[in-house]
Amino acid sequence: MTSPSTIAPKFLSAGNELGVVAVGFSGGQCKPGVDAAPSALIESGLLNQLKDDLSYTLHHDDTVHTYSELLPSQDPPHRNMKNPIAVSAVTRQLSTQVYSHARHGRLVLTLGGDHSIAIGTIAGTSRAIKERLGREMAVIWVDAHADINTPETSESGNIHGMPVAFLTGLAREKGAREELFGWLGEEPCLSLKKLVYIGLRDVDKGEKRILREHGVRAFSMHDIDKHGIGRVMEMALGHIGTDTPIHLSFDVDALDPQWAPSTGTPVRGGLTLREGDYIAECVHETGSLVAMDLVEVNPSLEAMGAQETIRAGCSLVRCALGDTLL
């Protein structure tokens, strides 16, 4: 049984308004199928639960956006990135959709898609929050991976391993063309000081150097084993403070493959589903949540576990949006 949350949101307009954006995009990595996640999540009843059980007023265009009209016929590698023009165009368009929900003071839920789409979602919310409230926002990035490669440090060329580098300005290219992420502008969307990672366990060499050099706050699985998830969440939220809007970007591969096998880059030794739900519940309890992404569910991989993965994804979203155990 569920009932609406009693936590009053600090940075949203009244009325429990939820903007939903469904993004069927897979161009930030090489495995097809992650584009089918939004339909799978919606078909399993997620949006109905948010409406009926958690009493949200939904703003959704009933479309899974594939942005096919934006995809170029030619998209050669640029600085070693695969599909750079496609990812740039899709995230640019997505950022305006997320922005217009957030500008109205709605909580924004984006269902991906691979994690490259966070370039668009975080660009959109951070701009809206800056305009509405004159504040900088924080990002909690829950993931097995840091996704902070620059095009130059990346070994794969997959942009889903780079969104944080673009958002924080680390990947900036002087005089970049609009259609090659130049649209992001000079000013970073996110400060490295307002970024917190949880769940890391597969971080590339170049990424480790970046995290160390900039003193980024990161809680790996080692930290979770050592302190327990309760203490880790206290430290993570303590770093952000109580007066800062939070964007939660949740990569389902943060969960152990036992709970979320159907994902493109699974890594053993991850969070239990309960730990994942707990992270989401704690973020909800802050009252500071302004946006959430759920990404990297790929129902076509490990098809046996697809329903399991979808169920886990739905659970994470419900918890972040106020579902409680009692």
Ligand X SMILES: NC(=[NH2+])NCCC[C@H](N)C(=O)O
**Contact set with Mn ion (CB under 5 A):** 115, 143-145, 147, 251, 253
Structure tokens belonging to residue 2: 């569920």
Residues in region 210-269 near ligand X by CB under 6 A: 251, 253, 264-265
**Residues 253 and 143 sit within 8 Å (Cβ to Cβ):** yes
Nearer to Mn ion, 82 or 145 (CB): 145
**Residues 59 and 17 sit within 8 Å (Cβ to Cβ):** yes
Structure tokens belonging to residue 162: 């780079």
Rounded CA-CA distance 5/74 in Å is: 48
Would you count residue 80 as binding ligand X (CB under 6 A)? no
Choosing from 78, 145, 247, 284, which is the catalytic residue? 145
Nearer to Mn ion, 143 or 207 (CB): 143
Q: Min. distance of Cβ 8 from Mn ion in angstroms?
A: 31
Q: Min. distance of Cβ 235 from Mn ion in angstroms?
A: 21
Choosing from 35, 114, 143, 207, which is the catalytic residue? 143
**Residues 225 and 201 sit within 8 Å (Cβ to Cβ):** no
**Residues 266 and 253 sit within 8 Å (Cβ to Cβ):** yes
Residue type, 258: Q
Calculate the CA dihedral of residues 35, 37, 43, 49 and round it to 10 degrees. -130
Would you count residue 204 as binding ligand X (CB under 6 A)? yes
147 is catalytic: yes
Q: Min. distance of Cβ 202 from Mn ion in angstroms?
A: 8
225 is catalytic: no
Q: Min. distance of Cβ 159 from ligand X in angstroms?
A: 9
Choosing from 78, 115, 247, 284, which is the catalytic residue? 115
Q: Min. distance of Cβ 266 from ligand X in angstroms?
A: 9
If binding means CB under 6 A, how many residues of this protein chain bind ligand X? 15
Q: How many CA atoms lie within 13 A of 296 on its CB side?
A: 28
Would you count residue 296 as binding ligand X (CB under 6 A)? yes
**Residues 215 and 197 sit within 8 Å (Cβ to Cβ):** no
145 is catalytic: yes
115 is catalytic: yes
247 is catalytic: no
Residues in region 109-168 near ligand X by CB under 6 A: 115, 145, 147, 149, 154, 156, 158, 160-161
The conformation of residue 181, written as its DSSP 8-state character, comes to T
Residue nearest to ligand X (CB): 161
Rounded CA-CA distance 216/208 in Å is: 10
CA 117 to mean position of chain CA atoms: 8
Residues with Cβ within 8 Å of residue 70, at least 6 apart in sequence: 86, 89, 90, 93
Residue 92 contacts which entry, ligand X, Mn ion, none (Cβ below 5-8 A, type-dependent): none
Instruction: Give me the active site residues, please.
Output: 115, 143, 145, 147, 160, 251, 253, 296
Q: Which positions touch ligand X (CB under 6 A)? A: 115, 145, 147, 149, 154, 156, 158, 160-161, 204, 251, 253, 264-265, 296
